[in-house]
Amino acid sequence: FLLVATAYETLKDEETRKDYDYMLDHPEEYYSHYYHYYSRRLAPKVDVRVVILVSVCAISVFQFFSWWNSYNKAISYLATVPKYRIQATEIAKQQGLLKKAKEKGKNKKSKEEIRDEEENIIKNIIKSKIDIKGGYQKPQICDLLLFQIILAPFHLCSYIVWYCRWIYNFNIKGKEYGEEERLYIIRKSMKMSKSQFDSLEDHQKETFLKRELWIKENYEVYKQEQEEELKKKLANDPRWKRYRRWMKNEGPGRLTFVDD
């Protein structure tokens, strides 16, 4: 029975049958045949597509929890900033939320529990009133890797349509840039991602527009001014002065090879 089963397993698969025929023609390559046979038998029969799907899902889950953790850290930090904490506390008092928390837990909860509940109320108000942008913004499902892959064809088509409109409106018809287009050109000149640019204050963007930084010559002047300003700040920075003094006197460590 074992011989019949082995023969069946060998002959039912085309690749195995080819290896068997090759072994009959080249019996001297015994060890090579032995290796190929067991490597095929012991190889895991897993669909590559399943592995890729599971990997993408795992990365997406990690992304979501990582981003949510960063968002909660940002909210916790803002709750310690006096400017936002005072505003949130005033709103909570106006809505009677803090009073309700104290009355609700007057006889049942400890002072520490009441304080934690008040802290959560303040954080929830900050969440509802402040729109955090950039790397610490509230996680969006559509930003996860899994959904980015699913939506990739849609994003590609949208980009092609947007690019064709840009070429037609501004390169061919010579229309004047709107505010959105001007900010886009400025962002590209600054080599900033959308999330980085969105995290800038509104008054900074207004300054960019007033100085007409979408025009290349104006941006070059602005860039030069920023570089000069940075040099002045570094020149007056005590730590930078110490570093330059150390580089002048000591310099970085060096390895030398001296012949005996």
pLDDT digit string, tens, across residues 89-99:
888 888 877 76
Give the pLDDT confidence score for residue 27 in this predicted structure.
67
Tell me, yes or no, whether 53 and 26 share the same domain: no
Q: Is residue 13 part of a domain?
A: yes
In a domain, 164, yes or no: no
By 3-state DSSP, what share of the chain in percent is helix, strand and coil, each rounded to 5? 75, 0, 25
Q: Rounded to whole angstroms, how far apart are CA atoms 124 and 245?
A: 49
* Residue that has been written with the tokens 């930084």 in this structure: 213
Same domain, 90 and 139: yes
Q: Are residues 21 and 83 in the same domain?
A: no
Low-confidence ranges of the chain (pLDDT < 50): 252-260
The per-residue pLDDT for 111 is 75
Which tokens belong to 224?
A: 């030069």
Same domain? 26 vs 97: no
Verify that 57 and 29 share a domain, yes or no: no
pLDDT computed for residue 117 by the predictor = 83
The last residue of one of the domains, among 145, 173, 203, is 145
**Rounded to an integer, what distance in angstroms lies between the CA atom of residue 84 and that of residue 203?**
19
Q: For 205, which DSSP code?
A: H
- Structure token pair of residue 194: 């959308």
Instruction: Note whether residue 37 is domain-resident.
Output: yes
Instruction: Specify whether 100 is located in the same domain as 132.
Output: yes
Last residue of a domain, one of 88, 118, 145: 145
Question: Looking at residue 47, what is its pLDDT?
Answer: 73
- 68 with 136, same domain: the answer is yes
Q: Do 15 and 70 share a domain, yes or no?
A: no
Cβ-based neighbours of 220, under 8 Å, separated by 6 or more? none
Output the pLDDT for position 66: 92
Query: What pLDDT score was predicted for residue 2?
Result: 56
Q: Is position 25 within any domain?
A: yes
| 98 domain residue, yes or no | yes
Task: Kindly state whether residues 30 and 62 are assigned to the same domain.
Answer: no
Whether 90 and 30 share a structural domain: no
Domain range enclosing 62: 49-145
Q: What's the pLDDT score for residue 189?
A: 93
- 31 with 53, same domain: the answer is no
Domain count, the chain: 2
Phi, psi of 76 (to 5 degrees): -60, -40
User: Is the same domain home to 100 and 116?
Assistant: yes
Residue 139: inside a domain, yes or no?
A: yes
Distances in Å between the alpha carbon of 212 and those of 170, 179, 206, 257? 17, 11, 10, 56
In-domain check, residue 172: no
pLDDT digit string (tens) for 153-209?
999 999 999 999 999 999 999 899 999 999 999 999 999 888 788 878 889 999 999
User: Is residue 82 one of the residues assigned to a domain?
Assistant: yes
